[in-house]
Amino acid sequence: MSWVFANVEQIWELTLTHIGLSIPPIVLGFLLSVPLGWVAHRYAVSRSILLTVSGLLYTIPSLSLFLVLPAILGTTQLDPVNVIVAMTIYAIALMVRSAADGFGSVEPSVRQSATAIGYSEWGRFWAVELPLAGPVLVAGMRVVSASTVSLISVGSLIGVSSLGYLFIDGLNRQFTVEILTGIVATIIIAVIFDLALVGLGRLLMPWTRSSAKAQRRRAAARVEVAA
């Protein structure tokens, strides 16, 4: 414990770096997968292509992706951009499917009645489909967020600093407390992100609050096996 107090500053700094690396992939992943997921949901051909490609991308082991990306992006090996891009790719790979399922979960009768009362396709997307797909999107984002926060630390193996540094340093110094500190800090970040996503969901989708438990259960069931 005394080690933690003595190194509070370094731990805090690594935590901030970790958060800084986690947020861009989560946000970018969401912004890019929603339109992709909608296209996948809307057109059968694009569905099989997009879901196959995202499935394959998700198959690539993280360490491999970190290492191969510089060769493609022209970045240096130690550039944090590699980690951010890699995590964004995973986020999209996970999220496109959730988004497609989310749009698929909108009752066809609701969609048809929206068209019948005069929504354009564009208007219907914003006013009807996106909000109703919301619970599944949130469930998907929770998986994305948890796996991003946990995988970022692998980047330290190739020299991109984060809380993962504590794991490597702890191993080299045979110091369990340091590793445990890193694990706990990572979990705290994951939990805070998770609560933020749930809170955001409730704030933006007040109609899901009453049946929040049932909704959560249903949405969670959809994505549970995903990761």
Partner 1 sequence: MSLFADAFAWLFDAANWAGPNGIPIRTLEHLLYTLVTLVAAGVVGVTLGLYIGHTGKLRGAAVIVTGSLRALPTLGLLFLFALWLGIGLTPVIIVLAILAVPPLLAGTYSGIEAIERSTVDAARAMGMTEWQILAKVEIPLAMPLIVSGLRSAALQVIATATIAAYLPLGGLGRFVFDNLSLRRWDAVIGGAIVVTVLALIVDGLFALLERSVVSRGVRAARSRDGSAAQPARKSVAADAA
Q: Is 129 exposed, middle or buried (0-12, 13-18, 19+ CB in 10 A)?
A: buried
Least distance (Å) between residue 139 CB and partner 1 = 11
Q: Which of 137, 138, 146, 197 binds partner 1 (CB under 8 A)?
A: 146
Closest separation between CB of residue 200 and partner 1, Å?
A: 18
Considering the complex, what minimum distance in angstroms separates the CB of residue 48 from partner 1? 10
Q: How many residues bind partner 1 (CB under 8 A)?
A: 56
Q: Residue 179 has which token pair?
A: 């590793």
Q: In the complex, what is the shortest distance from the CB of residue 215 to partner 1, in angstroms, rounded to a whole number?
A: 14
* Residues 49, 83: Cα–Cα separation, whole Å: 25
**Residues 34 to 73 in contact with partner 1, rule: CB under 8 A:** 55-56, 58-65, 67-68, 70-71
Q: How far is the CB of 65 from partner 1 (least distance, A)?
A: 8
Spatial separation of the C-alpha atoms in residues 101 and 103, rounded to whole Å: 5
Q: Rule CB under 8 A: which of 152-211 touch partner 1?
A: 153-154, 156-158, 163-164, 166-168, 170-171, 174, 176, 179-180, 182-183, 186-187, 190-191, 194
Nearest to 144 by CA among 14, 17, 28: 28
Min. distance of Cβ 130 from partner 1 in angstroms?
Answer: 18
Q: Which two tokens stand for residue 129?
A: 């489909």
- Is 125 a binding residue for partner 1 by CB under 8 A? The answer is no
Is residue 118 left, alpha or beta, with left meaning phi > 0 and alpha meaning psi from -120 to 50?
A: left
Nearer to partner 1 (CB atom), residue 77 or residue 211 = 77
- Closest separation in Å from C-beta 29 to partner 1: 14
Measured over all CA atoms, what is the biggest interatomic distance in the chain, rounded to whole angstroms? 68
> Rule CB under 8 A: which of 73-102 touch partner 1?
77, 94, 97, 101
Applying CB under 8 A, the residues found at the interface with partner 1 are 55-56, 58-65, 67-68, 70-71, 77, 94, 97, 101, 104, 143, 146-147, 149-151, 153-154, 156-158, 163-164, 166-168, 170-171, 174, 176, 179-180, 182-183, 186-187, 190-191, 194, 220-227
